[in-house]
Structure 1
Amino acid sequence: MLKIDLKKQGHSIVVWALLLTMPYWINAVGGYTELGTQVVVMGLAAMSLNFLLGYTGVLSFGHAAYFGLGAYGVGMTIRYLVPSTGLGMLVGTGVGALAAALIGPMIVRLRGVYFAMVTIAFAQVFYFIAFRWNNVTGGDDGLTNWTRQQIHLGVATLDIQHQPVTFYYFVLAIFALAVAAMAFLLQSPFGRTLIAIRENERRTRFLGISVNFHIWTSWVISCSFMALSGTLYALLNNFVDPRALYWTQSGVFVIMCVLGGMRSFWGPLVGAAIYVVLQDYLSSATPNWMSFIGLVFVIAVLFFPRGVLGIIRRRSVE
């Protein structure tokens, strides 16, 4: 019995071991601490989308809107209101969650390509607001002249402003809390209901379950975690521009989910790591790096539809 449990938890053990030790080995393989931080941030974003896509079965091409709202929320709070990292993250996450809660009732009745197209439309609305509101958002030049602040805990101070390794573990701690919350929700009766909706929505509806309400709840939760990842992304770069809201950014999140494996918990994190590392390496080697990533994506869809983690799991079973 112990061997079975260890086998089931094997992927989680490996993932956490790699994440906890990343600052100590990433330089040896040609990376750097900030790249590891970006992997964790984008991994959280991809897992947030997967909460809706992989477990509820609803495709959104507009999640960049909430990623960008979180990023602008923390940046504008620090620049215009209070120079506080914690408050900025709360504002950014709250703005993204509020926007999702308000938009959700207008789209939860839609399915398939119609749902995906409407999410793109709403995302583009936020994009053009950020692009045109030059006096506040900086327009196409982005929101500048702000930086993440140290976090004062009373008895200690986290210097995430000047210490990349400290900031990495700060981001990892936020990631761990978010992932634990997602895992708890997915293992609860609510999570089982989402999977039932994904597998057979009509049968789930016949059981008397409010499908639209559950999809709306899944949508709000997914977008809230996405906004949280957006705040971390802005803090990592000390900068945010309208491209964080653009629909192509939503496509990147979908690519990450597909590469790693949509219906697995850790798959999107694996896909995010592959995408971020490939982007960093290829963009420094050629201006046509997107073509190579597109080729990798096509190969994955054609020959490995369950993603990298799906391949690993199948081989481990065999």
Structure 2
Amino acid sequence: MPVIDKRVGNILIWLLLLTAPFWLVGLGGYVELGTRVVIYALAAMALNFLLGYTGVLSFGHAAYFGLGGYGTAMTIKFLYPSTPLALLVGVAVATVAAGLIGLLIVRLRGVYFAMVTIAFGQVFYFIAFKWSSVTGGDDGLSAWQRQPIDLGVATLDILGNNKALYYFVLAVFAVCVGAMAFLLRSPFGRTLMAIRENERRARFLGIPIDRHIWFSWVISCFFVSVAGGLYALLSDFIDPRAIRWDQSGNFVIMAVLGGMRSYWGPLIGAAIFLVLQDYISSHTENWMSFVGLFFVLIVLFFPRGVLGLIKRKNVS
């Protein structure tokens, strides 16, 4: 069979995303599930920018996902009730924190880098857990809600309209994945891939390795913080579980499940993970065991993920 043209695949993916609120309901799903898939897909694609294209594994991305969410929620609750402003503040706080921490860990490699990202992530987790007077502690930060968005000529009411919220999230997702695609096609993106393939050779070519890894880390955390802000808006709620290390593990699972060296792989992985979670958890409390078994089978027999399997079938 001939290889499916990438443009055709891109068009198909965007058509499915644009029409998801309609066919999801027809298949027995619900619009909020589609919104969650888009949000987690953005988080997994952000992680994949660092993991799949730079070759650096982080288990601490949930920290910046959670910071984006807490920053968004606290801006609306304590500062000013504006959804765009809240997102901007949440993303800014998380990105600055990522930049500062990146300066401390950028020289580390392999398991040492991954372990230190977990350690810093747990610091943020315990701050959110213990500082109950501000963050709400284990009960989470509630008693706030997302606000309608004034577009000048019209107002997008995302308060109780699940479809309007979905398309707002999808618009933010489109801007973010478009920016990531532009960066990956640029000389900067090609340099990241060179570092992934052979760091020593890239260093011999005169590439400032640590600087590029720091930029990749900050960019990745920037996009994952956008996903965190959207996650908080989805439920009008955020709690420390959004920052916990196992949330970072979920992002890694999604990226690997779909195919971490393919652009749309994390989107497919997020969709599979969340749909399985939603379906199996409605039948048993041990849903993670089934998802974990599925993940192990994918890693053992299809190491390039689901999208890699599809590409291989198209080539054969």
Which TM-score bucket, shorter chain as reference? over 0.9
Number of residue pairs aligned between Structure 1 and Structure 2: 315
1:11, CA displacement in angstroms? 2.1
Residue of 217, 220, 227 corresponding to 2:218: 220
Q: Does residue 160 of structure 1 match 2:158?
A: yes
1:314, CA displacement in angstroms? 0.7
1:8, CA displacement in angstroms? 2.4
Residue in structure 2 matched with residue 310 of structure 1 by the alignment? 308
Q: Secondary structure at the match of 1:285?
A: coil
1:192, CA displacement in angstroms? 0.1
Segment drifting more, 13-22 vs 194-203:
13-22
CA deviation map 1:164-190 (0-9, x unaligned): 101100000000000000000000000
- Distance (whole Å) between structure 1 residues aligned to residue 6 and residue 160 of structure 2: 39
Residue in structure 1 matched with residue 31 of structure 2 by the alignment? 33
1:30, CA displacement in angstroms? 1.2
- Distance (whole Å) between structure 2 residues aligned to residue 129 and residue 271 of structure 1: 30
CA deviation map 1:190-221 (0-9, x unaligned): 00000000000000000001000000000000
1:283, CA displacement in angstroms? 1.0
Structure 2 counterpart of 1:165, which letter?
K
Structure 1 unaligned residues grouped into runs of 5+: none
Residue in structure 2 matched with residue 98 of structure 1 by the alignment? 96
Structure 2 unaligned residues grouped into runs of 5+: none
Residue in structure 1 matched with residue 180 of structure 2 by the alignment? 182
CA deviation map 1:215-255 (0-9, x unaligned): 00000000000000000000001100000000000000000
**RMSD (Å), alpha carbons:** 1.0
1:13, CA displacement in angstroms? 1.5
- Distance (whole Å) between structure 2 residues aligned to residue 239 and residue 285 of structure 1: 25
- Distance (whole Å) between structure 2 residues aligned to residue 284 and residue 70 of structure 1: 29
Query: Equivalent residues in 2 for 1:193-212 (5 A)?
Result: 193-212=191-210
Residue of 139, 142, 146 corresponding to 1:141: 139
Residue in structure 2 matched with residue 62 of structure 1 by the alignment? 60
1:10, CA displacement in angstroms? 2.5
Q: Secondary structure at the match of 2:263?
A: coil
Structure 2 counterpart of 1:210, which letter?
P
Structure 2 counterpart of 1:284, which letter?
S
Q: Segments of 4+ in structure 1 off by > 2 A? A: none
Residue of 73, 76, 79 corresponding to 2:74: 76
1:153, CA displacement in angstroms? 1.5
- Distance (whole Å) between structure 1 residues aligned to residue 38 and residue 198 of structure 2: 33
| TM superposition score normalised by structure 2 | 0.98
1:105, CA displacement in angstroms? 1.1
CA deviation map 1:263-304 (0-9, x unaligned): 000000000000011111111110110111110111111011
1:125, CA displacement in angstroms? 0.2
CA deviation map 1:90-143 (0-9, x unaligned): 001101110011001111110000000000000000000000000000000000
1:7, CA displacement in angstroms? 0.9
- Distance (whole Å) between structure 2 residues aligned to residue 33 and residue 53 of structure 1: 30
1:28, CA displacement in angstroms? 1.0
Q: Does residue 46 of structure 1 match 2:44?
A: yes
- Distance (whole Å) between structure 1 residues aligned to residue 193 and residue 55 of structure 2: 8
Structure 2 counterpart of 1:112, which letter?
G
Segment drifting more, 212-221 vs 9-18:
9-18
- Distance (whole Å) between structure 2 residues aligned to residue 68 and residue 123 of structure 1: 10
1:154, CA displacement in angstroms? 1.9
Segment drifting more, 55-64 vs 21-30:
21-30
CA deviation map 1:43-82 (0-9, x unaligned): 0000000000000000000000000000000000000000
| TM superposition score normalised by structure 1 | 0.98
Q: Does residue 24 of structure 1 match 2:9?
A: no
